[in-house]
Amino acid sequence: MDIEQKQEELIEHFVNQASTFQGSSLATVIIAATSHPSLFAFSEILSVPNVIELQGTEHSIYLDLLRMFAHGTWSEYKSSASILPPFAPDQVLKLKQLTVLTLAETNKFMGLFQVLPYDVLMQELDVVNVRELEDFLINECMYVGIVRGKLDQFRRCFQVQFAAGRDLRPGQLGSMIHTLSNWLSTSDNLLISIQEKIKWADTMSDLDKKHKKEADERMEEVKKALSLKADIDFRGHEEMFSELGGVMDYDEDRIRPKRRRHPLG
């Protein structure tokens, strides 16, 4: 089962639970969702009416907790840890994984690799050395399937080739639509340019074929002309030799001395 299918099943499971429970029971559901090792999307759970109704209640900190996992990072959690429930180890790991996803999508243009310096990653993840960082990226990110990339120890960076998307922050949809619109416009212009180049190449190919055909036809005409001339020249020489041969025979008959006849006896 791939990660996307697993996500869909887990989201459906926790949405159903959140729709059923309230109060402290709903807080338990939120803790379980944010601790689950295979769940990385929370916007559907956030949109459940029972979850929204936690706002302003004694359990509202669990709504804030869920929002942190939907949109926040490890450094953001540290700055507001005093107003959130304490994290279990699984939640710490989860939020650090989500932080890598946020860093991977920052300033990334459609389809291009994002390069994350080791120094930035170690600071954002509270990692003390490169070995610990690379182990985390390999075992807790790439092996899990939420990112793919290449560790470059020489340049001390992580080249991200793929990263799972996170939930959109409030107000982020407009920015994403603008980015996608720009990308679509750029793609349309690129497509038009490619089509024009293909048309130009086809035109040049047709011209080349036409020129080659004309050259071949001229070559055939020259060959035929040369062949005809050679044939005419050969026939002319043949006739000339025939005439010369006749003259020689005639002259030889004229100049050949006649033999005298001697009388017998």
Please choose, from the candidates 47, 94, 87, 42, the residue with its C-alpha nearest in 3D space to the C-alpha of residue 73. 94
Which residues of the chain fall below pLDDT 70? 1, 107-113, 171-183, 233-234, 236-265
- Alpha-carbon distance 45 to 21, whole Å? 12
- Alpha-carbon distance 244 to 247, whole Å? 5
- The answer to whether the beta carbons of residues 124 and 133 sit under 8 Å apart is no
Q: How far is the CA of 127 from the CAs of 118, 130, 137, in angstroms?
A: 10, 8, 11
β-strand pairing of 147-152 with 114-117: unpaired
Q: How far is the CA of 111 from the CAs of 1, 92, 108, 258, in angstroms?
A: 25, 29, 8, 112
For residue 236, which amino acid is it?
G
- Alpha-carbon distance 69 to 92, whole Å? 10
Helices (H), the chain: 3-20, 23-35, 43-46, 49-52, 60-71, 74-79, 89-105, 118-125, 130-136, 172-255
Count CB-CB contacts under 10 A for residue 94.
23
| Domain range summary for the chain, segments of one domain joined by + | 1-71, 87-170, 171-250
Predicted confidence at residue 240, as pLDDT, reads: 63
Predicted confidence at residue 72, as pLDDT, reads: 95
Predicted confidence at residue 149, as pLDDT, reads: 95
Please choose, from the candidates 167, 8, 173, 30, the residue with its C-alpha nearest in 3D space to the C-alpha of residue 98. 167
- Alpha-carbon distance 181 to 42, whole Å? 26
Ramachandran angles phi, psi of 51, nearest 5° = -70, -45
182-222 pLDDT, tens per residue? 657 777 788 888 988 898 888 888 888 888 888 888 888 88
- Alpha-carbon distance 73 to 66, whole Å? 12
Predicted confidence at residue 239, as pLDDT, reads: 64
218-260 pLDDT, tens per residue? 888 888 878 777 777 667 666 666 665 555 554 445 545 555 5
Predicted confidence at residue 123, as pLDDT, reads: 96
